[in-house]
Chains A and B, each alone.
Chain A
Amino acid sequence: MTERLVTGFHPFVIPFVAGMFFVLGYCLYGIIRILVELPRADRQKFLLSLITPKTVWKNIKDIFLNCLIHVKLWKRNKVLGFMHSSIAFGWFMLIVLGHIEVMLFLPERTRFFYYPIFFNFFVAEGENTIQGAVLFFLMDLFLLVILCGITLAVIKRFRSLLFGMRRTTKPSFLDRIGLYALWLIFPLRLLSESFTAHISGGSFLTIPMNWLFRQFLGNDLNFLPTWWAYSIVLSIFLFVLPFTRYMHIPAEMMLIPLRNAGLKIKHPRKGFARVQFYSCPGCGVCIDACPMSVRKENQKDCTVYLNRQLRRNNESRIEEISDKCLMCGKCTTVCQVQVDGPHIRQAQRALRSYSINPHYTQVSVDEHLSKIGKGKVLYFAGCMTHLTPGIKKAVGEVLDRAGVSWTMMDPDGGLCCGRPMLLAGRKEPARAMMRINKEIILASGCDILLLSCPICYRVFKENYNLPGITVMHHSVFFNELIKANLLKVDKDAEMKLAYHDPCELGRGCGIYDQPRELVSAAGTLVEAAQNREASICCGGSLGSLSLSYEKRRDITLNSIKNLKAGNPDAIVTACPLCQTTFKNYSDIPVLDISQVILKENKKG
């Protein structure tokens, strides 16, 4: 392999070099900015994680699997997975192989970083070597892989339904420029490498192309314009990249280490949150996932649009979108980069200041304690279960029938668990309530804190630190009672029950199986069309601060329709709020899991 140009330079590389410097500079600026914006403790935590071997290995693994191979996308949708990984991994391999070529054949040129990209322009193949043949073959192979991906991408742009996406985002002007540049890069690379294939060598793709071109064009000198075009298109893509959704490519590589370091979103625009919204690829899978998207006018309130507005600093829309969200978390579950939309919103809500701030100093811990009896299990019904006395009664009866030593924490009403305040972004009042609750629980002398409301359950699990006390949701506890043979349930196989995963219990706390086991113990479980992680919010969520009841109606009806896919006799849920919400619109009975268990226990 010999060099064709003694200088190792040609002016056509200038656009690419300029673009590359621009992007690298921008990313460096971005990294510094984010590090500066992170709170001190978070920054230390992050930097420490970068020298901890375990997290370093996890970072490398996650970046490889998610950014290059797109494992999550493969699991969800094979065609989309192939499309993305072929472009990302193929491109990555072209760059790596380019570097290998340079290092192997022209080691003195490794410091010219445009060399691996335009290698075929600068070299002439003197003799055929086996290494050269293998490398050229691989280069052509990965170029072919990318071209397949690009073809799919073009088809997807015009027929997204073929790829299982009902709704997708509308790209902005710059997004389009970036998109068209991306489409053009690889066909142009194929063209340019084909033009020079008889000089620099090629393989199964470029050599036949070269032969074809020369039949028509004849003149070797025609290759220069295509190399110019290739460099210019690359340059356009690199220059618009920071202002388009393609920013997600570098941002995700930053997001993964930050997430692995265990950071939490503290401010909706700064630090971790900034990496989150720049990591959004703008694909729009969250539009279909968002429960609000059944209403056309609410389709622009999902996370992909929040991220877009955050990038544009559109304050009024950011606030509107943040307040409206039901905080069901489905967007994060379906998202390939797991942009944490709900927590960004929660941080945004925390920016608002209120003129009235409750303090709860009038609440007496002793007075509450005086009403609590003795028992190993402390049952906290919470506001929502107090408003659904049917559930409260059923839970109590099941506990009695199983011979559990239990007592109620809030027999005459108690303090709120704090979760609604947290969801509204009001951390201080929430913490004040949580402090009092914690004191009551620790003083009660219980072993198990039992909750029948997933909203309470999540906050007790996530935000309270209760040493020596097991926090349990009743669906889990009852399941254990059955397994320990303390509770008998007669299965009524004729009764078809659809189980609704409450957002806070399922996506929020990862409890999917125990309630299903419980339902299956009482009747025949029929799954909803979309279940588990994909379960649709009932619409009653107290996560939303501004969605009116009329608008929630459509969400509820859609969720019921989803649950009725298997023609159940009743809908079973494990959340008093879901039950109340469904009850208003469902034409089949809606029961709490405790009521089903009690019914089937009484028969025996």
Chain B
Amino acid sequence: MKNNILIIGGGIAGMETARQLKQLGLNPIIVEKNFALGGHVSQWNRLFPDMIPAKEVLDPYEDSLEGVEILLGTEIASINRLQKGWSVTLSTGKNYSCKAVVFATGFRLFEAEKKEEYGYGIYDHVITNSDLENWFNTKLDERVPEKPQAVGFIHCVGSRDIKAGNTQCSKVCCITAIKQAIEIKEAFPNAEVYCFYMDLRLFGKKYEDFYIKAQRDYGIHFIRGRVSEVSETIDGRVQVKAEDTLAGKPVKVRLDLLVLMSGIVCNRENEGLAKAMEMPLDEDGFFRSRNNVNAITEADREGIFYAGTCTGPKTVPETIAEARSAALCVYNYVKNNK
């Protein structure tokens, strides 16, 4: 096919890029390693700050991607440079020659068990942000007690943490924690909710209002200070030790549920692909853009584009905006390289 554009990854970045490319008259092909589209967003329940259900964001793609070739459960076997464009071989053995390749390979959530001091996988009532979204969706998780009296959130788990090997800010967890704290308070109005944070980075539209609402309307306690240690009491509750750096005092809180805000970290699967294509990764493991001001969606190699979180942590609206920008870049590239 003449105007094939291969998109690696079928999350919102990949889907939005495909949707735009289709409208621009090109022929996008989505390759997704999982057996369903939607990526991380499909695992989420509601999205900040308007609390719209994630489903509402995803559902319209079903119609708008009609006619787009979507290869599920498929991975990239190899990519080779052609005179004009790229030749891609898939794990199914199929081969495509295409004008451009868009990486929408996304991110991976930090494996919370790596921060063993927080006891994920060891204590009975420690879950991650993603587990909590799953509970919101299904109400099925034996780690979440029926009537919790106290619930805690630990911010920045595995992000901005040099010991964990990730120095980057994961960007979305501050606001996600506030969102989830409110949702917990809505589900269990009698529970005390604590957020242990080191900084609150509430940069986006309505985020600050959301934070004020959480304190004023929901009575959520925000404690500035990193958690030093989590232990389990004899009656199976979770005990958190931290320092309240604003009060200058150590605090000890007993909780029925502890939620770890696992951060966005680079997708390690990209390493092999990047090496094979001689594309440099940044020190944080994300793909390196041509520059980080006006060419975020472009790689140093001709005909390679990026969309979404494969270049760094991003929110859903940012990812969608970037996917559109990537689609436009691809369109211009194809037009100029006929």
A393 to B231, CA, bound (A): 10
Contact B241 A583 (CB under 8 A): no
A561 to B163, CA, bound (A): 20
Are A549 and B123 CB-contacts (below 8 A) given A388-B116, A389-B117, A389-B232? no
In the assembled complex, the CB of B114 is this many whole angstroms from the nearest CB of chain A, namely 6
Is B140 an interface residue when CB atoms closer than 8 A count as contact? Answer: no
Are A549 and B122 CB-contacts (below 8 A) given A386-B229, A387-B116? no
Contact A389 B230 (CB under 8 A): yes
**Which partner residue on chain B sits nearest A387 by CB separation?**
B117
A387 to B241, CA, bound (A): 11
Give a binary string over B82-118; 1 marks a CB under 8 Å from any A CB, 0 the rest. 0000000000000000000000000000000010110
Across-interface contacts of A580 in B (CB, < 8 A): 116
- Chain A contact residues: over half helix, strand or loop, or mixed? helix
Are A584 and B164 CB-contacts (below 8 A) given A389-B230, A389-B231? yes
Across-interface contacts of B293 in A (CB, < 8 A): none
In the assembled complex, the CB of B332 is this many whole angstroms from the nearest CB of chain A, namely 39
Are A584 and B114 CB-contacts (below 8 A) given A386-B229, A389-B232? yes
Given B116, B162, B229, which contacts A390 in the complex, CB threshold below 8 Å? B116
Q: Which of B226-279 contact A (CB under 8 A)?
A: 229-232, 241
Is A413 an interface residue when CB atoms closer than 8 A count as contact? Answer: yes
A549 to B163, CA, bound (A): 6
Is B119 an interface residue when CB atoms closer than 8 A count as contact? Answer: yes
**Which partner residue on chain A sits nearest B117 by CB separation?**
A387
Q: Which of B175-193 contact A (CB under 8 A)?
A: none
In the assembled complex, the CB of B122 is this many whole angstroms from the nearest CB of chain A, namely 5
Contact A584 B165 (CB under 8 A): yes
Q: Which of A375-411 contact B (CB under 8 A)?
A: 386-390, 393
A387 to B162, CA, bound (A): 17
In the assembled complex, the CB of A368 is this many whole angstroms from the nearest CB of chain B, namely 16
A553 to B230, CA, bound (A): 26
Contact A583 B117 (CB under 8 A): no
Are A390 and B114 CB-contacts (below 8 A) given A413-B241, A549-B163, A585-B165? no
In the assembled complex, the CB of B248 is this many whole angstroms from the nearest CB of chain A, namely 15
Are A390 and B122 CB-contacts (below 8 A) given A413-B229, A583-B116? yes
Across-interface contacts of A583 in B (CB, < 8 A): 114, 116
Contact A550 B162 (CB under 8 A): yes
Contact A389 B163 (CB under 8 A): no
Contact B241 A553 (CB under 8 A): no
Given A389, A550, A584, which contacts B119 in the complex, CB threshold below 8 Å? A389
Give a binary string over B292-313; 1 marks a CB under 8 Å from any A CB, 0 the rest. 0000000000000000000000
A393 to B114, CA, bound (A): 16
Given A387, A548, A584, A585, which contacts B229 in the complex, CB threshold below 8 Å? A387
Contact B116 A386 (CB under 8 A): no
Determine which residue in B117, B123, B241 has the highest number of CB atoms from chain A within 10 A of its CB, and name it. B117
Determine which residue in A389, A390, A548, A553 has the highest number of CB atoms from chain B within 10 A of its CB, and name it. A389
A584 to B115, CA, bound (A): 9
**Which partner residue on chain A sits nearest B241 by CB separation?**
A413
In the assembled complex, the CB of B169 is this many whole angstroms from the nearest CB of chain A, namely 17
A143 to B123, CA, bound (A): 73
In the assembled complex, the CB of A380 is this many whole angstroms from the nearest CB of chain B, namely 15
In the assembled complex, the CB of A538 is this many whole angstroms from the nearest CB of chain B, namely 13
Contact A389 B122 (CB under 8 A): yes
Give a binary string over A569-584; 1 marks a CB under 8 Å from any B CB, 0 the rest. 0000000000010011
Across-interface contacts of B122 in A (CB, < 8 A): 389-390, 393
Contact A553 B165 (CB under 8 A): yes
Across-interface contacts of A393 in B (CB, < 8 A): 122
Q: Which of A573-604 contact B (CB under 8 A)?
A: 580, 583-585
Contact A386 B231 (CB under 8 A): yes
A282 to B122, CA, bound (A): 50
Across-interface contacts of A553 in B (CB, < 8 A): 165
Contact B117 A549 (CB under 8 A): no
Contact A389 B165 (CB under 8 A): no
Contact A584 B163 (CB under 8 A): yes
A410 to B116, CA, bound (A): 19
A584 to B117, CA, bound (A): 13
Across-interface contacts of A388 in B (CB, < 8 A): 116-117
**Which partner residue on chain B sits nearest A553 by CB separation?**
B165
Across-interface contacts of B241 in A (CB, < 8 A): 413
Give a binary string over A398-437; 1 marks a CB under 8 Å from any B CB, 0 the rest. 0000000000000011000000000000000000000000
In the assembled complex, the CB of B229 is this many whole angstroms from the nearest CB of chain A, namely 6
A583 to B231, CA, bound (A): 20
Given B116, B162, B164, which contacts A389 in the complex, CB threshold below 8 Å? B116
Across-interface contacts of A584 in B (CB, < 8 A): 114, 163-165
In the assembled complex, the CB of B166 is this many whole angstroms from the nearest CB of chain A, namely 10
Across-interface contacts of B230 in A (CB, < 8 A): 389
A249 to B12, CA, bound (A): 72
Across-interface contacts of A549 in B (CB, < 8 A): 162-163
**Which partner residue on chain B sits nearest A388 by CB separation?**
B116
In the assembled complex, the CB of B159 is this many whole angstroms from the nearest CB of chain A, namely 14
A583 to B164, CA, bound (A): 9
Across-interface contacts of B119 in A (CB, < 8 A): 389
In the assembled complex, the CB of B271 is this many whole angstroms from the nearest CB of chain A, namely 11
Across-interface contacts of B163 in A (CB, < 8 A): 549, 584
A412 to B117, CA, bound (A): 14
Determine which residue in B114, B164, B231 has the highest number of CB atoms from chain A within 10 A of its CB, and name it. B231
In the assembled complex, the CB of A191 is this many whole angstroms from the nearest CB of chain B, namely 61
Give a binary string over B140-167; 1 marks a CB under 8 Å from any A CB, 0 the rest. 0000000000000000000000111100
Across-interface contacts of A548 in B (CB, < 8 A): 162
Across-interface contacts of A389 in B (CB, < 8 A): 116-117, 119, 122-123, 230-232
Across-interface contacts of B117 in A (CB, < 8 A): 386-389
**Which partner residue on chain A sits nearest B111 by CB separation?**
A583
A332 to B114, CA, bound (A): 33
A393 to B164, CA, bound (A): 23
A527 to B114, CA, bound (A): 25
**Which partner residue on chain B sits nearest A580 by CB separation?**
B116
Q: What are some 20 contacts across the A-B interface (CB < 8 A)?
A: A386-B117, A386-B229, A387-B229, A388-B116, A388-B117, A389-B117, A389-B119, A389-B122, A389-B123, A389-B231, A389-B232, A390-B122, A413-B229, A413-B241, A548-B162, A549-B162, A553-B165, A580-B116, A583-B116, A584-B114
Contacts A387-B117, A549-B162, A553-B165 known; list 11 others, CB within 8 Å: A387-B116, A389-B117, A389-B230, A389-B231, A390-B122, A393-B122, A413-B241, A583-B114, A584-B114, A584-B165, A585-B165
Q: List chain A positions with a Cβ less than 8 A from chain B.
A: 386-390, 393, 412-413, 548-550, 553, 580, 583-585
Listed from nearest, the 7 A-B pairs whose CB atoms lie closest are: A387-B117, A549-B162, A388-B116, A389-B122, A389-B119, A390-B122, A584-B165
